Structure 1
Amino acid sequence: MSQSFNRRRFLQITTTAALLSATGGYQASASNPLYRWRGVALGGQAEILLPAGLDVELIGNDVVSELKRLERIFSLYDTASEVSQLNREGILNNPSPEFVELLQKSKQVSELTNGNFDVTVQPLWELHSAGSGYSKVQLLKLEQSIRGLLGYKNLKVSSEKISFKKGGMAITLNGIAQGYITDKITQLLSNHGLTDSLINIGEIKALGHHPDGRNWKVAIADTSSNKDPLQTQQKSVSLNDGQAIATSSYLGTTITDGTPHLLNPLTHQDEYRYQSMSVIASDATTADALSTGFSFMSIENIRNIVDIQPNLKVHAVDNMRRTYSV
């Protein structure tokens, strides 16, 4: 029986043993200078660490309002969202500026990764979500047919209209929207005057520093030393002000038929090259998208991109449990 793992288990905020997880009310003390706000974004748990002495309830209400607004654009689970309308109709007139911005960014990352990141993989997702009633041979034939609908170059994006060049196309923003929303919530907190917070909306971004003056620390589950994915060691990395981290892994959510949630947009692939792919970047949108695209690329090709892109770092564990830091 296939198991489903949430990608959030691979990124963990690490602060101090005294950190209080606020439930109901918000509390802080001299030994516990942080509040933890918790909520839900795109169906997953979200949390924000905030410095003490703030109107946390007001900030929390603004965060919830912004999350709901962005979900009405990007959520595939909302049939009235802009992405759902686009997938249903094949065209969306007068899209929101955020939708245009995100799709333009997605196309840039697709170009950078030579198509290894591609939001048009949704038809493949729908195929595997239909269930496990197909034989392996049948599934492979269906995949080959559906792959004719894939291709980011067949997605047309402008401020006036978003459309597909082929009927039957669809997009998913699962590999980039969490990062984008993380960036937007970070900007909202900055607009409130916050300087020292850590934001986790599926991906993690640092705003300022930990209240004790150090960089924020984030733990990445290290699967290289333990065969049991539920009992992993952790690698700790630090984030400077403005840095973000995202991790993709085949141990993430599986689709209905047991297929890993990472779907290669270029070719059928039964085995994934990496158990874990973490990217640190200057924004969460980039980190999110590249952690997905890099999952299908060789370390050599990843290194070539890192060499020409500022502020990128990569930590990866391959299927032989070898670790890489690029």
Structure 2
Amino acid sequence: MTVRFRKYSWQLAPQDLGNIRQTVFIDEQGVPPELEWDDTDEIADHFLAVLPDNTPVATARLFYTLDDSAHIGRMAVLPEHRGRGLGEKLLRHLMAEAADQVKDLHLSAQEHAVPFYQRSGFHVCTEPYDDAGIPHYGMRCLAPTLATRHFGEDSQRQQPLILGSDDKSWLIDGDHPLPELIDSLVGQARQRLWLYDRVLDHELFDRQRLRDLVSWLARHHRNSEIRLLVHDDALLVKRRHRLVELMRRLPSAIDLRLVNDAYPPVEHPFLLVDREGALVRHRFDRPEGFANFADSGRVKLLAEAFQRMWDTARPSLELRELPL
């Protein structure tokens, strides 16, 4: 179905926009008016979806924060126009609008709508919570630019970037997609995060967002296994590294070891997340490779190789003794 999108500030928004929210959230879902209309409306961009004959059918809002993030909210499609793909088109229009300006996108999803948002690359990142008497989950997309590349009609990805669901490989052929793919995997980890590399490259791994994602895993999942396996710790001793500092603050949750070169090591770096996710680079000194979000067979083989190296590896005494 053909649909067009119009963007407004709250002050200049037509009455149709408010009418749709009134119909869907207040009249249909029973949200109290004092919760529906809030101060965020004043700072957000508001979008109205209209049919070719200018009939208004859906609305949503988008606002930006100071941490390079954007938030999508108040998505509503009129009851008589549901089931025609309008909500998905509206969501993806907002994602494309924000993708070049922010590093990640956030939203609050009603429980029944979680699969809808997963189809566009959002994953659950919170426990369930109550909002206006309705169960919700916090969701985010940590690679909006990558997600929006695969919204064409010929895309075969049913749930792009979703751990355990996206079974198509993401090819890495340059520096740009690596951090986004790493963060999208790590951000969905619930138990295992194993990283093997020659060094913990500062440009790739010494990033605040990655540090925050690893910290969340270590602090909120008591059975998590965060293992960093490297060949050389010399640069880590000489220069501060966010993951190393986090390891030293959470020594029971994060461990780093040095490969024993007396045993044949794997000749390419990789990252493993839980039982499904893997990011593999073909060489230590090049960014080329691929990422998989649902490849349990490959993860099992790489995990066995990692475990063999880990069992013969040694701790880095120099890093443990550095002052905080």
Asked if these proteins are the same fold (TM beyond 0.5), I'd say: no
Higher RCO (CA-CA < 8 Å; seq separation 6+)? 1
Structure with the greater alpha carbon radius of gyration: 2
- Please, what TM-score do these two structures have when normalized by structure 1? 0.23
